[in-house]
Structure 1
Amino acid sequence: MSVGVFLITHDDIGISLIDSLQQMFANKLPLNIKALPVHHNSDPLAFCYYAEEIYASLEEGDGVLVLTDLFGATPCNIAISLLNHYHVKIVAGLNFPMLVKIMSHVFTFPDATLDTLVDKALTGGCQGVLDVSLLYPKSST
């Protein structure tokens, strides 16, 4: 068994991130991962139904890590609708370093728990945000 990863994002953000992950990991992702693109003109209740279907396809007994792009927005609210009925943990603020950290960890530890992957998501998300100009200051020439 393993933890599934479910991206619920505005438009095609999640799909694009998964495509980038597949390129980076040569199409050998260590986890079952899917995305639900939420479009601004759509009915949020219909997306709650789709989210339940995708959750069911990802759940193998160890839970599902749900990642969403923006806390308080419609994709996050759809994710929250899963909390009371399903074995999920939700992390908002999705970014690419977060996904890379999760996938890299699972390559080394394929039986990583849902709680461990939440920690990896938070760590990767924070460590991946840098003020690069401080690392490479302008030269005085």
Structure 2
Amino acid sequence: MSVGVFLITHDDIGISLVASLQQMLGNKLPLNIKSLPIHHDSDPLAFCYYAEEIYASLEEGDGVLVLTDLFGATPCNIAVSLLNHYHVKVVAGLNFPMLVKVMSHAFTLPNASLDVLAEKALRGGCQGILDVSLLYPKTP
């Protein structure tokens, strides 16, 4: 068994991140991962139902890590609707370094727990944000 990864994002952000990850890793993703795009004209109640269906397809007994792009927005609210009824951890602020960190950790520890992967997501998201200009100062 393993933890599933579920991206709930505005438009095709999650789909694009997964496609980039597949390109980077050569389609060898260590975890089962799915994305649910939420469009501006989407019915949030209907998407709560879709989210439950996708959760069920990802859950193998160890829980599902739900990553969403923006705290307080509709995709995050849909993710929050899963918290009381399902074995999930929800992390908002999804970015590519976060997703890479989760997947690379899953390669090294395929049986990592939901709590461990949620922590890796938080760390990867924060550590992937850098002011690169400070690392490469201008030369005179």
Q: What is the TM-score of this pair, normalised by structure 1? A: 0.98
Q: Does 1:138 align with 2:138?
A: yes
Q: How does 1:44-83 map to 2 (within 5 A)?
A: 44-83=44-83
What amino acid is aligned across from residue 41 of structure 1 in structure 2? Answer: D
Q: Does 1:29 align with 2:29?
A: yes
> 1:139 Cα deviation (Å)?
1.3
Q: In the aligned structure 2, how far is the partner of 1:12 from the partner of 1:112?
A: 28
Partner-residue secondary structure (3-state), 2:120: helix
Q: Does 1:19 align with 2:19?
A: yes
Partner-residue secondary structure (3-state), 1:41: coil
Q: Does 1:96 align with 2:96?
A: yes
Q: In the aligned structure 2, how far is the partner of 1:76 from the partner of 1:2?
A: 23
Q: How does 1:3-14 map to 2 (within 5 A)?
A: 3-14=3-14
> 1:123 Cα deviation (Å)?
0.7
Q: In the aligned structure 1, how far is the partner of 2:55 from the partner of 2:123?
A: 24
Q: How does 1:117-128 map to 2 (within 5 A)?
A: 117-128=117-128
Q: In the aligned structure 1, how far is the partner of 2:99 from the partner of 2:78?
A: 20
Q: In the aligned structure 1, how far is the partner of 2:122 from the partner of 2:42?
A: 30
Question: Per-residue displacement from partner, 1:14-40 (whole Å, max 9, x unpaired)?
Answer: 000000010111000000000000000
Partner-residue secondary structure (3-state), 1:65: strand
How many residue pairs align between the two structures?
140
Q: In the aligned structure 2, how far is the partner of 1:78 from the partner of 1:105?
A: 26
Question: Per-residue displacement from partner, 1:87-108 (whole Å, max 9, x unpaired)?
Answer: 0000000000001111111111
Q: In the aligned structure 2, how far is the partner of 1:106 from the partner of 1:118?
A: 11
What amino acid is aligned across from residue 107 of structure 1 in structure 2? Answer: F
- Identity across matched positions, percent: 85
Q: Does 1:85 align with 2:82?
A: no
Question: Per-residue displacement from partner, 1:32-61 (whole Å, max 9, x unpaired)?
Answer: 000000000111000000000000000000
Runs of 4+ deviating beyond 3 Å: none
Q: What is the TM-score of this pair, normalised by structure 2? A: 0.99
What amino acid is aligned across from residue 38 of structure 2 in structure 1? Answer: V
* Structure 1: runs of 5+ lacking an equivalent: none
Q: In the aligned structure 1, how far is the partner of 2:82 from the partner of 2:105?
A: 25
